[in-house]
């Protein structure tokens, strides 16, 4: 059994931020093989990170089962923050599979769960739920609501110094603008995203976005 599961999970997060998703998935799987089955919050978070890594790697059936296991374990903790994080993950997964209605239901439930929490934990959860809701609104062409919700997400995440979240919100907004054919403002948003990824110390992510931009300049 890993002596400090929270620290071990953080090692996996560092792999994620370096875009080493195959290594992150293998790391989380090893931790799960070594973990004691139970309802603890750290173990639920481990299941959730593993599910997310599987989703990013497009191992969707495994990811679905992993999210189901995380959600069942989260409910047993009776902790609103743990449940909120898991509902958020389930919403992201549903959205990635094109199930917009189910994704929106999960994300709204996550917002409700985070709303009862005070302090940085609740604000962070709300911010991430909002940025994923904004992406859903964009996909369903509720554009005014999408841009307003991205702004609300950034406000919450900036408040607590969650630079990864702020960067992600700018990046997702840029992708929405690209899909609408607004290349100039998309480039501006991508540059905002890069500045916050740099602030977080994520050079691999900055390089990825710079490669996507190519020779485009901000107007």
pLDDT at 219 over 50: no
| pTM of the shown model | 0.85
pLDDT at 99 over 50: yes
Residue 112: C-alpha distances to residues 94, 130, 177 (Å): 18, 11, 29
pLDDT at 3 over 70: no
| Residue 77, token pair as written in the block | 């903790």
d(CA 56, CA 152): 25
Tell me, what's the pLDDT at 4?
A: 85
Triad 5, 25, 214: Cα angle to 5°:
120
Confidence of residue 215 (pLDDT cuts 50, 70, 90): low
156, 123 Cβ separation under 8 angstroms = yes
pLDDT at 38 over 70: no
d(CA 102, CA 111): 14
| Tens digits of residue pLDDT in 144-193 | 999 999 999 999 999 999 999 999 999 999 999 999 999 999 999 999 99
| Tens digits of residue pLDDT in 105-143 | 999 999 999 987 768 889 999 999 999 999 999 999 999
Residue 216 CB neighbour total at 10 angstroms = 14
Domains and CATH numbers, the chain: 5-160 (1.25.40.10), 162-219 (no CATH)
Separate counts of helices (H) and strands (E) for the chain:
11, 0
Of 128, 66, 65, 132, the residue nearest 103 (C-alpha): 132
Q: Helices in 97-119 by DSSP H: which ranges?
A: 100-115
91, 107 Cβ separation under 8 angstroms = yes
3-state secondary structure at position 4: coil
């Amino acid at each position: 059994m890993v002596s400090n599961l929270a620290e071990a999970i953080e090692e996996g997060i560092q792999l994620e931020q370096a875009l080493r998703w195959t290594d992150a998935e293998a790391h989380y799987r090893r931790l799960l093989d070594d973990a004691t089955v139970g309802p603890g919050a750290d173990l639920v978070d481990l299941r959730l990170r593993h599910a997310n890594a599987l989703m990013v790697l497009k191992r969707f059936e495994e990811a679905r089962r992993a999210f189901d296991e995380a959600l069942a374990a989260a409910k047993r903790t009776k902790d609103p923050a743990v449940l909120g994080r898991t509902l958020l993950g389930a919403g992201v997964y549903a959205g990635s599979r094109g199930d917009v209605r189910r994704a929106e239901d999960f994300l709204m439930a996550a917002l409700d769960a985070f709303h009862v929490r005070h302090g940085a934990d609740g604000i962070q959860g709300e911010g991430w739920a909002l940025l994923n809701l904004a992406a859903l609104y964009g996909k369903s062409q509720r554009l005014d609501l999408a841009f307003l919700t991205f702004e609300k997400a950034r406000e919450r995440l900036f408040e607590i110094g969650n630079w990864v979240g702020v960067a992600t919100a700018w990046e997702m907004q840029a992708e929405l603008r690209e899909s609408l054919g607004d290349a100039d403002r998309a480039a501006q948003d991508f540059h905002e995203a890069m500045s916050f990824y740099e602030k977080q110390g994520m050079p691999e992510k900055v390089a990825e976005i710079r490669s996507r931009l190519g020779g485009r300049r901000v107007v």
